[in-house]
């Protein structure tokens, strides 16, 4: 008798091959039979008639390094069909950590990934680990709705090995290089699935300092490459200089994306390990540079490197609303009289002509912390005309006439004044997004990136930027937009399923999952593809210390199984937690 049989589904097995209708059987957490009509009895049968059956998604770019202490569900990833996550990206993480230095790592994470410091301080089980091996053992003692893999971050390594010299980006000595290499090697031996670093000036701590490792000499990374090569495991993940910063020589980026690519190529060849790195179309550089990086990657891989540009499935969206960041949050009156009010009272107070006039007229007070994401208020002030309302389901290609600027112009009003009123609608729950500037051209770029044979999908940043970005829903977006809703040049559903399951699993050496094949882990999604939907963001006030996070409601996942156990059913948590730590 099987544990579970999934009947009459469209099986998309994750290999990239053609789909087929049939059944799938599960026993002891593994896939026991795939295809055809299964007549043997089962303890439970799931009806997949009219649905697609896929492997669980593997999200390789998340930031749950703190959330794993307080959240077994690991939302929003678990809401989006993800059954394995990789955290510890972008060079920021929480191990190793010397006793008494926890606050510095919190301020790094808060500045780079916009996770509230109060939540990290109060919600994490500080004192349970010092080394990365300790941290992995801590995770190993917990249960989740999905599996968790962790990378060791350059920022934590540098600070642990070098103290203040490492935190402030001083050059490493020969002794420092050896110490860091040994720390990374020991972590990977213990089960870290990779090492991550960030070299872009756009990543700063809460107090405005570049993250440790931003200006590390090539020799530092190549020394780490040598140690990773000796271990023979682990992925190197990097945010190259030029990704979110400008090359200006005046406190900006110190090098170019082309030179960064050459460094990563040398790392890949010296270590023999795969390298994955962020690739986006940067507004600060040649708009065609991304194509050159893809060409350079193909050339490098043809000579023995293994390089995998990590690309988005949709434009990164900056959200504004009263439960997040907005253009009026740094007005003196807002700070003094409105910021701490419950939402309903805040909306009532702002919904008067006197308060509106005052907030529109006042000058802003800059945040005390220069690296705080609150500084985005200025961007929203300038960008109000080109922001778009978020409706349900989310439209990734809205008409130009739907922008805040166009709506305001049609009424003879100023965009910022119109945005003020818009944010008060529906009890102050509305959000607008900056993600949709020049959408048709950007979508065409993303399609070309996704279709490239060397790329992997990622950059969801799930668990991070909790009141600014909702891209943890990226895996669902890939299915709704690229295989169903895009007007033309859709991507084959078999290709997209492969890209976010087997492709990512292979990158990290997770060879026990990612496809619907006999003997593989039973990480499975049953999806109502025709009705799969991503809604506008909703604010949840459920972080430690009362912190807020935004999540997009998802509908259409009939069932998600991790290790053969149903963790979500009809878009509702089942309360089962079969997920565990994944070691390298």
Q: Tens of pLDDT along 433-465?
A: 997 556 778 899 999 999 999 999 999 999 999
Packing angle of the helix pair 415-428, 353-361 (nearest 10 deg): 130
pLDDT tens, residue by residue, 365-382 = 999 999 999 999 999 999
What's the CA dihedral at 290, 292, 297, 302 to 10 degrees? Answer: 150
pLDDT at 31 over 70: yes
Q: In this model, does residue 51 exceed pLDDT 70?
A: yes
Structure tokens belonging to residue 109? 């994470």
Distance CA 281, CA 353 (A): 42
- Confidence class for position 76, pLDDT limits 50, 70, 90: very high
Which sign, positive or negative, has the C-alpha torsion 483, 488, 492, 496?
negative
At 311 the pLDDT is 97
pLDDT digits (tens, 9 = 90+) for 84-105: 999 999 999 999 999 999 999 9
**CATH number, domain 85-317+444-465:** 3.20.20.140
The mean pLDDT of 306-311, rounded to a whole number, is: 98
Give me the pLDDT at residue 391, please: 94
Task: Give the residue-averaged pLDDT of 77-86.
Answer: 98
In angstroms, the CA 311 to CA 280 distance is: 7
Task: Look up residue 462 and give its DSSP letter.
Answer: B
Calculate the dihedral angle through the C-alpha atoms of 485, 489, 493, 496, rounding to the nearest 10 degrees.
-100
Averaged pLDDT score across all residues of the chain: 96
Are 455 and 516 contacting, i.e. CB atoms less than 8 angstroms apart?
no
SS3 25: strand
Examine the pLDDT at 480 and tell me if it is beyond 80: yes
- Stretch among 394-398, 481-485, 533-537, 568-572 having the lowest mean pLDDT: 394-398
- pLDDT tens by residue, 547-579: 999 999 999 999 999 999 999 999 999 999 999
Residue spans per domain, the chain = 85-317+444-465, 319-433
- What predicted TM-score, i.e. pTM, was given to this entire model? 0.97
Query: What are residue 39's phi and psi, to 5 degrees?
Result: -105, -15
> In 3-state terms, what secondary structure has residue 360?
helix
Report residue 259's pLDDT band, with 50, 70 and 90 as the boundaries: very high
**C-alpha–C-alpha distance, residues 65 and 78, integer Å:** 16
Bridge partners (DSSP) of residue 559 are 526, 569
User: Residue 582: is its pLDDT beyond 70?
Assistant: yes
* Residues of the chain above pLDDT 90, percent: 93
Residue 540's closest CA among 63, 64, 75?
75
**pLDDT tens, 122-159?**
999 999 999 999 999 999 999 999 999 999 999 999 99
Identify the pLDDT of residue 559: 99
Specify the range with the lowest mean pLDDT, choosing from 219-228, 389-398, 446-455, 513-522.
389-398
Give pLDDT, residue 283.
Answer: 66
């Amino acid at each position: 008798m099987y544990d579970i049989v999934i009947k009459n589904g469209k099986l998309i097995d994750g290999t990239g091959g053609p789909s087929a209708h049939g059944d799938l059987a599960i026993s002891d957490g593994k896939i026991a039979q795939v295809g055809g009509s299964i007549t043997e009895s089962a303890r439970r049968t799931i009806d997949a008639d009219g649905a697609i059956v896929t492997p669980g998604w593997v999200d390789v770019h998340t930031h749950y390094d703190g959330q794993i202490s307080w959240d077994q569900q690991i939302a929003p990833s678990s809401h989006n069909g993800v059954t394995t996550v990789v955290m510890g990206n972008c060079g920021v993480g929480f191990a190793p950590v010397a006793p008494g230095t926890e606050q510095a790592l919190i301020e790094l994470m808060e500045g780079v990934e916009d996770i509230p410091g109060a939540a990290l301080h109060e919600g994490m089980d500080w004192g349970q680990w010092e080394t990365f091996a300790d941290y992995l053992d801590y995770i190993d003692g917990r249960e989740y709705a999905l599996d968790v893999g962790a990378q060791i971050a350059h920022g934590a390594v540098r600070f642990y090995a070098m103290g203040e010299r490492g935190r402030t980006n001083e050059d490493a000595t020969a002794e420092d290089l050896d110490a860091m290499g040994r720390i990374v090697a020991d972590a990977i031996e213990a089960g870290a699935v990779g090492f991550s670093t960030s070299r872009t000036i756009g990543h700063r701590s809460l107090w405005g300092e570049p993250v440790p490792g931003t200006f590390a000499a090539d020799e530092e990374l190549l020394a780490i490459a040598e140690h990773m090569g000796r271990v023979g495991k682990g992925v190197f993940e990097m945010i190259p200089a030029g990704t979110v910063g400008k090359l200006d020589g005046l406190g900006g980026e110190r090098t170019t994306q082309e030179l960064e690519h050459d460094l990563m190529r040398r790392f890949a060849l010296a270590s023999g390990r795969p390298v994955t790195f962020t690739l986006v179309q940067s507004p600060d550089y040649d708009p065609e540079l991304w194509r050159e990086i893809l060409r350079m990657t193909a050339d490098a891989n043809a000579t023995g490197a293994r390089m995998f540009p990590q690309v988005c499935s949709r434009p990164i969206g900056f959200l504004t609303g009263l439960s997040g960041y907005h253009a009026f949050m740094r007005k003196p009156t807002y700070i003094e009289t409105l910021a701490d009010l419950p939402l309903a009272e805040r909306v009532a107070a702002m919904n008067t002509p006197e308060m509106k006039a005052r907030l529109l007229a006042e000058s802003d007070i800059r945040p005390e912390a220069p690296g705080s994401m609150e500084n985005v208020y200025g961007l929203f002030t300038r960008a109000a005309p080109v922001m778009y309302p978020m409706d349900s389901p989310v439209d990734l290609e809205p008409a130009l006439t739907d922008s805040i600027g166009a709506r305001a112009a049609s009424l003879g009003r100023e965009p910022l004044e119109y945005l003020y009123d818009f944010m008060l609608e529906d009890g102050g729950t509305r959000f607008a997004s900056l993600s949709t500037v020049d959408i048709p051209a950007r979508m065409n770029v993303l399609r070309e990136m996704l279709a490239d044979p060397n790329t992997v999908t990622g950059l969801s940043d799930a668990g991070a930027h909790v009141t600014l970005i909702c891209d943890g829903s990226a895996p669902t977006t890939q299915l709704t937009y690229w295989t169903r809703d895009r007007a033309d040049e859709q991507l084959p559903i078999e290709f997209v399923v492969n890209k976010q399951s087997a492709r990512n699993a292979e990158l990290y050496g997770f060879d026990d999952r990612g496809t619907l094949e006999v003997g593989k882990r039973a990480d499975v999604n049953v999806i109502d593809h025709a009705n799969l939907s991503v809604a506008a963001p909703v604010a949840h006030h459920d972080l430690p210390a009362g912190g807020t996070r935004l999540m997009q409601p998802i509908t259409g996942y009939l069932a998600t199984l991790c290790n053969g156990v149903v963790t979500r059913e009809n878009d509702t948590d089942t309360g089962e937690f079969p997920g565990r730590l994944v070691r390298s």
